[in-house]
Structure 1
Amino acid sequence: MQYRRFGKTNLNLSIFSLGTMRCLASETVFNETLERAISLGINHLETARGYGKSEEFLGRFLQQQGLVAREKIYITTKLTPNPDAEKMSRWIDESLQKLQLNYIDCLAIHGVNTWEHLEWITKPNGCFLPLQRALDEGKINHLGFSTHGSLEVILAAMETGLFEFVNLHYYYFWRRNAPAIALASQKDMGIFIISPGDKGGLLYTPSALLTDLCAPFSPLALTYRFLLSDDRVTTLSTGASHPKEFKSILSLFEQNDKLSPEESQKLKELEEHLNRVLNTDKCSQCYQCLPCPETINIPEILRLRNLTIAYDLKNYGQYRYGMLENAGHWFPGNKGHRCTECGECLPRCPENLDIPKLLKDAHTRLKGTSRRRLWE
């Protein structure tokens, strides 16, 4: 296993972390997955108050492992932003109790997704006060934030100077947050890429077409290498649901270098295939079509259409599309069938796309059925 410095926290984290949201089928599966992760050299475990019984399971697991193991393992837990400072203070103590710990290595404010969330943190008497107190008292060693928010909200949160690290969505198939990677690096913040195998394309179960296009690499391995070849990135979440899921990425644990010529060529071929198949219907994700009067998430819907047509990632497209109108600020915006063909977006599109037509087509392809979130 390779390790990297987690920004100004100065923690040396394994380049792969274990997020514990997906291994909650039973406490036995949870323990076996964590045992396997640690045996492979993973030293960073991530949980959250909102992940069902994850904090409780982790607390019992740590007690079973003993204090020596605790000193070698870094724990991150997450608490959602809240306007009630007293509630945040109580939540910190409840997480410590569930985890059976005297201190938490890293605490992330979970889901700084809106301007209101950021205001709750930064306003006088906001929820940052109990967090600062917990830092002063040694209950928390390092503070960061996770986010599913807009790029503008993310950059503003970084500019506050309150945070030492960020849990960020950024993948080969979705690079909107590239400026956030740059700013976090400039500010020496640790960068933890979350859900690259799941929200990055359901790459544990890729389409046959994408598998063929990526050969001899697997889609999961190639996109992980895209992320890890960037030395600004500290660690990736594996989100394994079972010990056997580590098998497909074992070869990556020692790869801590730049992309090989073969890997670079394969990524170039993926991009060329996308351009060739979509031709004049390709959305290049400039976001100039927003805002939409019907609050349709136009760029995301057209991105999912891109991936469905070019790489046959229909399952992924339906999974993400089904979250629109069902996940609130975690995945905001309306679906494509809400388009009234008002035409406001058309003159703003530098590619002259027929956006209403493409939205209708995307809805037909992706409407599927809505899915529950993993911890529900």
Structure 2
Amino acid sequence: MRYKRFGKTNVNLSIFSLGTMRCLASESVFNNTLETGISLGINHLETARGYGKSEQFLGHFLQQQTLVSREELYITTKLTPTPDAELMAQWIDESLERLKLDYIDCVAIHGINTWEHLQWITRPNGCFLPLQRALHQRKIRHIGFSTHGSLELILAAIETDLFEFINLHYYYFFQRNEPAIALAAQKDMGIFIISPGDKGGLLFTPSTLLQELCSPLSPLELSYRFLLSDQRITTLSAGMSEAKEFNSIISMFEGNNRLTPEESKKLNQLEEHLNTVLTTEKCSQCYQCLPCPESINIPEILRLRNLAVAYDMNNYGQYRYGMLENAGHWFPGNKGHRCTDCGECLPRCPENLEIPKLLNDTHQRLKGTTRRRLWE
């Protein structure tokens, strides 16, 4: 296992972290998954107050495990932003109690997703104050944040200089947040990429076409290599549902070196294939179509269409599209069938896309079934 400095925290984390949201089928599955991960060299375990029994299971596990000392493990938990500062203080103590720890290495504000969330944190007597107090009391060691918000909001949160690390969505198939990667690295923040196998494209179960395009690497391996070769990134979340899933990534544990010529060639071929298949219907994700008067998440819908048409990533598209209108600020915006053909987006599109037509087409392709976030 390779280890990297987690920005200004100066903690050395394994290049893969173990998220504990997906291995909650039972406490025995949870324990077996964590034991396997730690035995393979993973030293960073991530949970959240909102992940069902995850904190409780992790607390039991930490008390009984004998693989490594407490000082050799780094624990992150996440607490949602709140307008009630004293509630945040209460949550910190409750997490410590559930985790059965004297201190938590890293606490992230879980989901700075709206401008209001950021105001709750930065205003006088806001919910950041109890986190600072806990930091001074040595109940926690480092403070960061996770986000599903807009790029503009993410950059603003980084610019507050309140945080030592960021948990961020950034993948080969979603590179919108690259400027946030750049700014966080400039400020020496630790950068933790969350859910690259799942929200990065359902890459544990890729389409046959995507497998063929990425061969001899798997789509999961190629996506991980894209991220691991970026020297700004510290660690990737490996959200395993059971221990045997580690088999798909063990070969990557030593790999955070630059892309090989073959890997670069494969990534270029993926881009060429996208351009060839979509031709004049490709959305380049400039976001100039927003705002939409019907609050339709146009860029995300057209991104999902890009992937479905070019790579047969229909399962992923249905998974993500089904969350629109069902996940609130975690995945905001309305679905494509809400389009009224008002035409406001059309003159703003530099590619002259027939956006209403493409929105309707995407809805027919991906409407599937309603989805909610996993930990709900």
Fold equivalence (TM over 0.5) = yes
| Residues 95-174 of structure 1 mapped to structure 2, 5 A cutoff | 95-174=95-174
The C-alpha deviation readout for 1:83-119, integer Å capped at 9, x for no partner, is: 0011000000000000000000000000000000000
The match for 1:333 is: 333
Distance 1:163 1:254 in 2: 28
Distance 2:20 2:217 in 1: 26
| Residues 4-153 of structure 1 mapped to structure 2, 5 A cutoff | 4-65=4-65, 69-153=69-153
The C-alpha deviation readout for 1:108-144, integer Å capped at 9, x for no partner, is: 0000000000000000111011011000000010000
Distance 1:222 1:129 in 2: 41
Distance 2:67 2:228 in 1: 31
Distance 1:202 1:78 in 2: 23
Could you tell me the percent identity over the aligned residues?
80
Distance 2:332 2:270 in 1: 28
Distance 2:344 2:88 in 1: 42
- Residue 256 of structure 1: CA displacement? 1.9
Letter in 2 for 1:337: H
Distance 1:143 1:15 in 2: 19
The C-alpha deviation readout for 1:315-354, integer Å capped at 9, x for no partner, is: 0000000000000000000000000000000000000000
- Give secondary structure in 1 for the equivalent of 2:69: helix
| Residues 311-326 of structure 1 mapped to structure 2, 5 A cutoff | 311-326=311-326
The C-alpha deviation readout for 1:120-174, integer Å capped at 9, x for no partner, is: 0000111011011000000010000000000011000000010000000000000
Distance 2:254 2:74 in 1: 20
Which ranges of structure 1 fall in alignment gaps of 5 or more residues?
A: none
- Residue 373 of structure 1: CA displacement? 2.2
- Give secondary structure in 1 for the equivalent of 2:356: helix
Are 2:221 and 1:225 equivalent residues in the alignment? no
- Residue 67 of structure 1: CA displacement? 9.8
Distance 2:28 2:134 in 1: 32
How has the CA–CA distance of structure 1 residues 102 and 66 changed in structure 2, closer, same or farther, with 3 Å as cutoff? Answer: farther
Letter in 2 for 1:334: N
Which ranges of structure 2 fall in alignment gaps of 5 or more residues?
A: none
User: Deviating runs (4+, > 2 A) in structure 1?
Assistant: 66-69
Distance 2:311 2:75 in 1: 36
Distance 1:328 1:370 in 2: 13
The match for 1:214 is: 214
The match for 1:241 is: 241
Letter in 2 for 1:274: L
- Give secondary structure in 1 for the equivalent of 2:92: helix
- Give secondary structure in 1 for the equivalent of 2:21: coil
Are 2:196 and 1:196 equivalent residues in the alignment? yes
Distance 1:342 1:250 in 2: 51
- Give secondary structure in 1 for the equivalent of 2:106: strand
- Residue 70 of structure 1: CA displacement? 1.3
The C-alpha deviation readout for 1:186-208, integer Å capped at 9, x for no partner, is: 00000000000000000000001
- Give secondary structure in 2 for the equivalent of 1:125: coil
Are 2:177 and 1:177 equivalent residues in the alignment? yes
Are 2:306 and 1:306 equivalent residues in the alignment? yes
Letter in 2 for 1:43: N
Distance 1:178 1:204 in 2: 24
Distance 2:211 2:328 in 1: 33
- Residue 68 of structure 1: CA displacement? 5.0
Distance 1:7 1:291 in 2: 35
Letter in 2 for 1:229: S
Distance 2:85 2:161 in 1: 20
